Amino acid sequence: MAASYDQRLVLDSRLDEVSRAEKVVLEAVVACNFSDTDQFAIKLALEEALANAIKHGNESDEGKHVTLEFHVDERKLTITICDEGTGFDPQRVPDPTLDENIEKPYGRGVWLIKTYMNEVSYNDQGNCLTMVKFRTHATSSSGR
């Protein structure tokens, strides 16, 4: 029978919680046969999304929590991450690849999430992010 996992995690607003969440999600993703490349993308997007939720959403307030819910099967991974902050407008995040922003040492997290995941959406308030990664099929014989 095909593997499928659903889980909900509640994280404290501490950055050391990020690795705990990543471990849970990546174990499920590996069990669903996602490739190394997919795992790299998922780990990166998770890191950025959770760090944003903890630092910018909840402003590292330990009285606030981040919830992470995910569903993964052998077709795709869907993750929703919500913080207790006031939210933000993702349209207003400047393009970090423009020449005027290239030397700024911040502002690349949202861009990386959008690039590495197949679908990214926010709720109206801007404090819940849903991202989807479709499993790519192995091309081990293609070589590079």
Partner 1 sequence: MAETESRLVVHQEGDVTVIEFLDRNILEESSIQQISDEMLELISKTDHPKLLINFENVDHLSSAALGTLIRANTKVTQKKGQLRLCNISSQIYEVFVITKLYKLFEIDKSVEEAVGKFK
Site residues for partner 1 per CB under 8 A: 15-16, 18-19, 37, 40, 43-44, 47-48, 51, 55, 96-97, 102-109, 111-112, 115, 144
Number of other CB atoms surrounding residue 84 within 10 Å = 17
What is the closest distance, in whole angstroms, from the C-beta atom of residue 107 to partner 1 in the complex? Answer: 8
Instruction: Report the residue number, 50 or 72, with the smaller CB distance to partner 1.
Output: 50
Q: Which is nearer to partner 1, 3 or 104 (CB)?
A: 104
**Residue 106's CB: how many other CB atoms inside 10 A?**
7
Q: Which residue's CB is nearer to partner 1, number 12 or number 73?
A: 12
- The nearest distance, CB 3 to partner 1, in angstroms, is 24
- CB-wise, 46 or 128, nearer to partner 1? 46
- Report the nearest approach of partner 1 to the CB of residue 34 (Å): 14
Tokens for 76, please give them. Answer: 């795709």
* Distance of closest approach, residue 77 Cβ to partner 1, in angstroms: 17
In whole angstroms, what separates CA 110 from the centre of its chain? 9
